[in-house]
Amino acid sequence: MSLTTAPRGTYDLMPNEALAWQWMEMIIREVFISYGYGEIRTPIFEHTELFLRGIGETTDIVEKEMYTFIDKGGRSISLRPEGTAPVVRAYIEHKLHGQGGTTKLFYLGPMFRQERPQAGRFRQFHQFGVELLGEEAPLADAEVILLAHDLYQKLGLTELEIYLNSVGCQHCRQKYKEALISCLWDSSAELCSTCQLRLERNPLRLLDCKNASCQKITSQLPSIHDYLCQACQDHFSQVIGFLDQVKVKYEITPRLVRGLDYYSRTVFEVVNTELGAQNAICGGGRYDGLVEECGGPAVPGVGFASGMERLFTTLEQRNKLPIFSRAPQIYIISLSDQFALIAFELTASLRRNGFKVELGFSSKSLKTQLKSANKSGAQLALIIGEDEWKDHQVTVKNMSDGSQTRVEWQELIEQISELITPQGVINE
RNA sequence: GUGGGCGUAGCUCAGCUGGUUAGAGCGCCAGGUUGUGGCCCUGGAGGUCGAGGGUUCGAAUCCCUUCGUUCACCCCA
């Protein structure tokens, strides 16, 4: 417990980084809106029950990672560990299914999971995502994947890999699970200890074990594609057909199984392989049973969630972040407290005319204040001292070449406007 | 929850097998310029060596505990 450090797994976003985040958020919103999605802002916390039902009681997320507490009304409340269940809850609560047709929603905000932090993993982290509800056609799956693809493209990330798979419907998945169990029963002793547990709890997870000896064994296993029913096969091949048509490159990975219980048929991930152990920046798929599971009508859905910290790291790593400057255009220097009033007034007037102005707060020596002006990155320094004061003028100094002129207070805005524009571009 | 690495100045780090007042670079402050920044020069401030305990004549250095951090496992964005 320390007063002077942020809680484990959390961090402060400092001003320069916050600019980059704002830029990311802007692009994300633009792309989502252009695809016809509307933003929804659900509460940061929900009734715990929602996540138990929505995510699955036996998933790690709800078993050991949720921030859960009892509020003063005796209700069990949890900070949201993911965004889909709350959106589905809101969809049901506002009876959006009653409006007919499909519903396209996106969200963006903090999520909370109590895990040990590591590269690309935080306890408070940020996700954005989309949910397309009320449509079971393969075209919906393809559109959601295309959306993710185009979004990363728009952010300048062209070299990401898309992994694609189908985990089938309840029926084919069940048959496949049984097949895995019977194939592995005899050799189970050769599996790593966690895989032995997986064999009992969730055999699909065996497929992406990182242990080399497990991989050797599981590489002999049949593919889930051999167990897909005709309808699931058709669905998958149509999704692929649409993606091919719009030249979205993907890799079919029969071993890709996603951890959350609610997925059915299409699942996909967008991966940055240079990211470390936690390299998925986006995960999603179809969840046809979820709305009903959460107490709504039997409405199909498909969507994805993307981790903003991992996305940010990727953008940084690949030099795709624009350079942001917080530098003022003009730095105002007053050489004595007796000129503070006029300096303050000139600052206000310049700001009201759209210039980005910084005012030195104390009247130190000119040298010191010019150093501050220099450090601030301002293009112009305005100096008000004894001489200027007497003549109702200011000295305007160009910080890049050191040249300076005297300007009447009355003409300042006009003169400055000839040197720089309110956007901060020098008029040459 | 489990395992490994790392905690020395605001930042990045050095400090060899224990041995005087714990160092460097960058940054910060002041001066070299009576009212002129960047470059250069000179000087200065700034450290309970993460914390607690132990071994020792002597600990930043060795041992134990603890906290923090980081990477990995589990799992996930």
Q: What is the pLDDT of residues A7-32, one digit of tens each?
A: 999 999 998 899 999 999 999 999 99
Q: Which nucleotide is nearest to A208 (CA to C1')?
A: B75
Q: At what angle do helices A170-184 and A193-201 cross, to 10 degrees?
A: 140
Q: What is the pLDDT of residues A51-81, one digit of tens each?
A: 999 998 888 888 889 999 999 999 999 999 9
pTM: 0.93
Mean pLDDT of A134-161: 96
The two three-digit tokens of residue A307, written as one number: 């981790």
The whole-number pLDDT of residue A385 equals 93
pLDDT band at A384 (very low <50, low <70, confident <90, very high): very high
Domain spans in chain A, listed from the N-terminal domain onward = 15-169+229-317, 330-419
The whole-number pLDDT of residue A374 equals 93
The whole-number pLDDT of residue A423 equals 60
Q: Which nucleotide is nearest to A309 (CA to C1')?
A: B77
β-strands A161-166, A251-252 pairing? parallel
Q: Which nucleotide is nearest to A310 (CA to C1')?
A: B77
A218 CA – B6 C1', rounded, Å: 37
Which residue approaches B33 most closely, CA to C1'?
A: A367
The residue ranking higher by pLDDT, A322 or A242, is A242
Q: 3-state DSSP call for residue A10?
A: coil
CATH of A330-419, one of 1.10.260.40, 3.40.50.300, 3.40.50.800, 3.30.70.1140: 3.40.50.800
The whole-number pLDDT of residue A199 equals 84
Backbone angles phi, psi at A349, to 5 degrees: -65, -40
Q: Which nucleotide is nearest to A211 (CA to C1')?
A: B73
Q: Is the pLDDT of residue A118 over 60?
A: yes
A123 CA – B60 C1', rounded, Å: 33
Q: What is the pLDDT of residues A334-344, one digit of tens each?
A: 998 899 999 99
* CA diameter of chain A: 97
Q: Which nucleotide is nearest to A60 (CA to C1')?
A: B75
Q: 3-state DSSP call for residue A81?
A: coil
Ranking A13-17, A183-187, A423-427 by mean pLDDT, the lowest is A423-427
The whole-number pLDDT of residue A217 equals 84
Q: What is the pLDDT of residues A247-284, one digit of tens each?
A: 999 999 998 888 777 899 999 999 998 888 999 999 99
Q: How far apart are CA A235 and CA A286, in angstroms?
A: 11
The whole-number pLDDT of residue A113 equals 96
Length of chain A: 428
- Closest CA relative to residue A314, chosen from A147, A164, A159, A146: A159
The whole-number pLDDT of residue A203 equals 85
Q: How far apart are CA A328 and CA A191, in angstroms?
A: 62
A42 CA – B46 C1', rounded, Å: 48
Q: How far apart are CA A84 and CA A283, in angstroms?
A: 12
Which residue approaches B30 most closely, CA to C1'?
A: A368
% chain A with pLDDT above 90: 73
Mean pLDDT of A291-310: 96
A374 CA – B26 C1', rounded, Å: 18
Q: How far apart are CA A364 and CA A395, in angstroms?
A: 17
A10 CA – B50 C1', rounded, Å: 20
Q: Is the pLDDT of residue A427 over 80?
A: no
Cβ atoms of A308 and A128 within 8 Å: the answer is yes
Q: Is A177 exposed, middle or buried (0-12, 13-18, 19+ CB in 10 A)?
A: middle
A4 CA – B62 C1', rounded, Å: 31
The whole-number pLDDT of residue A2 equals 67
The residue ranking higher by pLDDT, A152 or A177, is A152
Backbone angles phi, psi at A136, to 5 degrees: -105, -5
Average pLDDT taken over every residue of chain A: 92
A181 CA – B74 C1', rounded, Å: 21
The whole-number pLDDT of residue A260 equals 77
A3 CA – B47 C1', rounded, Å: 21
The two three-digit tokens of residue A315, written as one number: 């953008």
Which ranges of A353-392 would DSSP assign to H, the alpha helix?
366-376, 386-391
The whole-number pLDDT of residue A425 equals 42
The whole-number pLDDT of residue A158 equals 92
% chain A with pLDDT above 70: 98
For chain B, which bases have at least one atom within 7 A of a protein Cβ?
1-3, 28-31, 33, 35-38, 67-77
pLDDT band at A185 (very low <50, low <70, confident <90, very high): confident
Q: Which nucleotide is nearest to A403 (CA to C1')?
A: B36
Q: What is the pLDDT of residues A220-256, one digit of tens each?
A: 888 999 999 999 999 999 999 999 999 999 999 998 8
Cβ atoms of A170 and A290 within 8 Å: the answer is no
Which ranges of A155-250 would DSSP assign to H, the alpha helix?
170-184, 193-201, 212-218, 230-245
Cβ atoms of A85 and A55 within 8 Å: the answer is yes
Which residue approaches B50 most closely, CA to C1'?
A: A2
- Classify domain A15-169+229-317 at the CATH class level: alpha beta
Q: Which nucleotide is nearest to A397 (CA to C1')?
A: B36
Measuring CA to CA, how many Å separate A325 from each of A9, A17, A330, A417, A426? 29, 11, 14, 20, 15
